[in-house]
Structure 1
Amino acid sequence: MSLNRENVIWQTEQGTWSIGFFEFEYPDHEDFDPEWDVEYDRSLFWWVSTGHADPDEAVEAYRAEHANPGDASTCIEWSADTGAKIARYEEMATAWQAEHARATAAMDLRPSRERYLYGSPATFKQRTARPLRIRARTHLK
């Protein structure tokens, strides 16, 4: 099943293109459709990619990481009229990239076996509240 996810592609003042998918959550009712019944927070991004040569390259960056093709994007070219909206998207992208880098760094500090046991950064925070015990093995002959 392909899941619709709202996103925006924008051109920076420098001429590069970026794409951001808005943060979403599922409503709390029993007969919701996971494709269409989602609530978006348009002040946060769920996924971002920046610095592309054109809009198609931005879309391909998403498709390279996510099997779901998303949906048709809103595409905004930079101009004096769109500059304020694009500046807001740039701030949101910078915030997402900082949080993503922090979460990724925290996850990469774990031993490799642990990296695959815990899924999201939130789960990682819950699990690492306890100290990690490491047992050393000695091989005596």
Structure 2
Amino acid sequence: MAMRWEAFLDQVKERGEYETTEEAERAARTVLALLGAHVVGQVRAELAAHLPEELALILLNPLQAHEPLSPERFVRATAAWIEGATEQTAAWDVGAVLSVAADAAGEELTRQLLLQLPAGYDLLFGRPQRA
């Protein structure tokens, strides 16, 4: 069951402590466009099915990544796409968006997503893994 657009953005707005829904939407679009380049196949399709349609389309038609980005470089890439962002604000953006996406996806799908990503993304999703 896909999360509603308003519900998704409201949660991102709350977690990111954004003043406007537009800021939350910009973060969501940017982070999911970058994430879409990193996850593939069934896992990406399943995640898309849990997201609002507008964001699912972004995830499924991602910005192309030439190589999997480490969590640090993922944050840096997010900062590069968001006007006026710093690495600190981008880390906040990424955490807000990915933690809401993880809630929408559920624990099992989030675990499968993390298996496709370089080490360290568990923290970006707000799901620190035990060693």
TM interval, shorter chain, is under 0.3
Relative to its length, the structure with more helix (as a share) is: 2
Where relative contact order (Cα < 8 A, 6+ residues apart) is larger, the structure is 2
